[in-house]
Chain A
Amino acid sequence: MTQTARTINCLDVVVRALAGQVGIEPGRIDPDRPLSAVPGIESIHVLRAVTEVEEACSVLIPDDFLFETATVRKLADFIAGLMEQR
């Protein structure tokens, strides 16, 4: 898989995980806004979504990343980067 394809795939996984945790349609998530701007989200949802994504992509997201104010897309890019390093 190319880097771009993998990034797109990651974004899809991240968006679906977040939407599933909060209980909204994936279309309502704007990837260029911070994770915390997902409608109705709490840190508990993000942690669960991150856990889901870690399992789906076989990566471990370091704790430090959790305290960054990241956009949804930045998280997806970060995970794609981790997958490249494997």
Chain B
Amino acid sequence: MRQSRTAPPAAAAEAPDGLASRPLWDLVVGGVGEHSTLFLPRQPEREVRFTELLDRAERTAGEIRTRLDGHRPRRVGLLLGNGEPWVRALLAALRLDATVVPLPLPIAFAGFDAYAAHVARIAADAELDAVLVDHSFGPQTADRVAEMLDRAGHGGHGGAGRAGAGRVRLSVIDVAVPADAPPVGWDVTRPARPGGRAMAVIQYTSGSTSRPKGVVLTHHNVATSMATMIERTAWTDKDILGLWLPLFHDMGLFSLLAAVVSGGSVCLWRPADFIRRPMSWLEEFAAARATGLPGPNFCYDYLVDGAARAGVPSGLDLSAWRFAINGAEPVQLRTMEAFTRTFSRYGVRPDLLHPAYGMAEATLMVTFPQLNRPVRHVRVDRDRLGTGQRVHIISGGRAGADPGGRASPASRDVVSCGRPVPGMNMRIADAAGATGPDLTVGEIQISGPAVTSGYLTVPAGEQPITPDGWLRTGDLAFVLDGEVYVVGRLKDMIIIRGQNYYAEDIEEIVRTTPGVDRRTCAALGWLADGDERAVVVWETRLDPAAAAAVADRIGDRVRDQLGLGAVQIVPVEPSAIPHTTSGKVQRTATLRMCRERNLLATGHLIPRGEPATSKEGATR
């Protein structure tokens, strides 16, 4: 462990094996083994060797260059559904030493226009030269996005920020089918000093309607993180990564890259394959003899629920499954226990699930538990989890021990996410960087060679970096016996199904909704039975019927613009929302007010079995 609390961040250390100084393309070429295979259980092409994919990527890179009149693109957006074209496009971009910018796909049944505007803002912010597309997520939808980007790229909206960049044209290139183009050729395209400090990936955080925030990651950042992930998960070329996460998501992208760099194989699905029929997916996962799976907490709940609804497929054998990572949203003890209980008789080992803490700002992994060891958890006093408070431990803390005693509304079970990974400096501190003794709740601050230098185009003064150079994660945690227990969030962000939604985005939508008569509102995330929920509290003088109608409109707009569907809209009377003397909304106090007045709707997000009785208060 290298957890540092007082030392300034180390100057970027070299990654193990000296990987970090080399460009990612070289790492991939050097890593891919003779047997490394991309398995695609739902595609016509069921499997393809990575050696073949590298060859195709050379040709796709050649095609891209031809389309750009022989220029090497500086930054390339990837807008494709999970599949061979996504992986090939990624490799082609790396081959060209272009910076990769994964673009989010539209969310089913959310508004298209708001989505298109979001992608256009990213394209402009990142100054993309080209966007690589296929049509796998819906041919007409892909055409609409391509058309919109094409317009934006011709000096319109997207061209505004790129004056002086030399090129103003954004090219949309369809790479659905492997090209017959000649390979790009080694000679001409390489910049003088590829890799290292050059940008490898700009990873946009999801959910933003306003200003897109692109996390800048260098080849050095990514290579370091890949080496760490491979080491922590003991990944080898015998391993097969199961992956249904969208590849534009940081957890999807960097899990894939780590597997490829290490010479392993990958079995890839589309997210809808998992969501639509979770048990069929699990059967395919088992049949593939996949050994590893990353996913957010909800996906493990979802599998338990799927087993209860549809039954577990007969003969299911999950014994090849070596580890699963539970990250990207708050980890629930209840989920971990239910998962193990449900699937242990099908070969799932008791220590399969690994709660982890990570973020795109650290490339991916910040903390990780020891592989295949019992996970620690503690029961703590719920009211002593504020910043600067010392946690009161009711019970637990030993590996694998049952906390004992009874859970009560006043207590909360918190799962350990393990220790900071090698090379990651971490401290629990306040905004000024001051640290307290163990068990003090504070913000997780990090530094090290895998950590971003900041967000693209965001002015230095607005970067989340402390004066002494640590990245502020905005997440709250305490440390016990060197292990990190994440308990909440300082930043105003709500995470549902691994997607981030910013409170300020939601609040701006509320304020601009026709019929809203006051500006005071608060978007909050809270935990109900382990699930994170979104609630919008807004002040109004309207009578209840009129307020309900406006609440409907707010809900529609939040869904159309952010794709956030399950949100409760709660009208309250003027001055009901607690605020500071300077007029800033007090979120914790607002949530307490809602609890005291019984305004929060409960009930499980994935209804089980019988339709639940409706439990709405002021819900919609």
Are the C-beta atoms of B612 and A36 separated by less than 8 Å?
A: no
Are the C-beta atoms of A24 and B611 separated by less than 8 Å?
A: yes
Are the C-beta atoms of A46 and B607 separated by less than 8 Å?
A: no
Q: Which residues of B contact A21 (CB under 8 A)?
A: 607
Interface of A is mostly: helix
Interface 9-residue window, one of B149-157, B161-169, B555-563:
B555-563
The 0/1 profile, CB within 8 Å of B marked 1, for residues 13-49 of chain A is 0000001111111001000001111011111111110
Given contacts A23-B612, A36-B560, contact A51 B112 (CB under 8 A): no
Q: How far is the CA of A63 from the CA of B106 in the complex (A)?
A: 11
Are the C-beta atoms of B566 and A51 separated by less than 8 Å?
A: no
Are the C-beta atoms of A42 and B607 separated by less than 8 Å?
A: no
Other-chain contact of B138, A39, A42, A43, A64 (Cβ < 8 Å) = A64
A37 vs chain B, min Cβ distance (A): 6
Are the C-beta atoms of A46 and B109 separated by less than 8 Å?
A: yes
Are the C-beta atoms of B110 and A36 separated by less than 8 Å?
A: yes
Q: Which residues of B contact A45 (CB under 8 A)?
A: 565
Q: How far is the CA of A42 from the CA of B496 in the complex (A)?
A: 10
Are the C-beta atoms of B555 and A37 separated by less than 8 Å?
A: yes
Q: Which residues of A contact B611 (CB under 8 A)?
A: 19-20, 23-25
Are the C-beta atoms of A43 and B110 separated by less than 8 Å?
A: yes
Q: Which residues of A contact B565 (CB under 8 A)?
A: 36, 40-43, 45
Q: How far is the CA of A35 from the CA of B109 in the complex (A)?
A: 7
Q: Is A3 interfacial (CB-CB < 8 Å)?
A: no
Interface of B is mostly: loop
Are the C-beta atoms of B276 and A47 separated by less than 8 Å?
A: yes
Are the C-beta atoms of B612 and A42 separated by less than 8 Å?
A: no
Count of chain B residues with Cβ under 8 Å from any Cβ of A?
Answer: 37
A12 vs chain B, min Cβ distance (A): 15
Are the C-beta atoms of A67 and B112 separated by less than 8 Å?
A: yes
Are the C-beta atoms of B607 and A43 separated by less than 8 Å?
A: no
Q: Which residues of A contact B138 (CB under 8 A)?
A: 62-64, 66-67
B111 to chain A: closest residue by CB: A69
Are the C-beta atoms of A46 and B108 separated by less than 8 Å?
A: yes
Q: Which residues of B contact A22 (CB under 8 A)?
A: 607
Given contacts A20-B611, A66-B108, contact A40 B275 (CB under 8 A): no
B552 to chain A: closest residue by CB: A37
A50 vs chain B, min Cβ distance (A): 8
Q: Which residues of B contact A42 (CB under 8 A)?
A: 496-497, 565-566, 605
Q: Which residues of A contact B556 (CB under 8 A)?
A: 34, 36-37
Q: Is B463 interfacial (CB-CB < 8 Å)?
A: no
Are the C-beta atoms of A23 and B607 separated by less than 8 Å?
A: yes
Q: Is B287 interfacial (CB-CB < 8 Å)?
A: no
The 0/1 profile, CB within 8 Å of A marked 1, for residues 159-187 of chain B is 00000000000000000000000000000
A44 vs chain B, min Cβ distance (A): 6
A55 to chain B: closest residue by CB: B277
Q: Which residues of A contact B109 (CB under 8 A)?
A: 34-36, 43, 46, 66-67, 69-70
The 0/1 profile, CB within 8 Å of A marked 1, for residues 579-620 of chain B is 000000000000000000000000111110001101010011
Q: How far is the CA of A34 from the CA of B616 in the complex (A)?
A: 20
The 0/1 profile, CB within 8 Å of B marked 1, for residues 53-81 of chain A is 00000000011101111100000000000
The A-contacting residues of B in range 108-146, CB under 8 angstroms, are 108-112, 137-141
Other-chain contact of A24, B112, B272, B496, B614 (Cβ < 8 Å) = B614
Other-chain contact of B559, A23, A36, A44, A66 (Cβ < 8 Å) = A36
B40 vs chain A, min Cβ distance (A): 17
Q: Which residues of A contact B110 (CB under 8 A)?
A: 36, 43
Are the C-beta atoms of A25 and B614 separated by less than 8 Å?
A: yes
Are the C-beta atoms of A47 and B614 separated by less than 8 Å?
A: no
Q: Is B338 interfacial (CB-CB < 8 Å)?
A: no
Are the C-beta atoms of B497 and A44 separated by less than 8 Å?
A: yes
5 pairs of A and B residues whose beta carbons are closest in the complex: A23-B607, A23-B612, A64-B138, A63-B138, A66-B108
Which A residues contact B (CB, under 8 angstroms)? 19-25, 28, 34-37, 39-48, 50-51, 62-64, 66-70
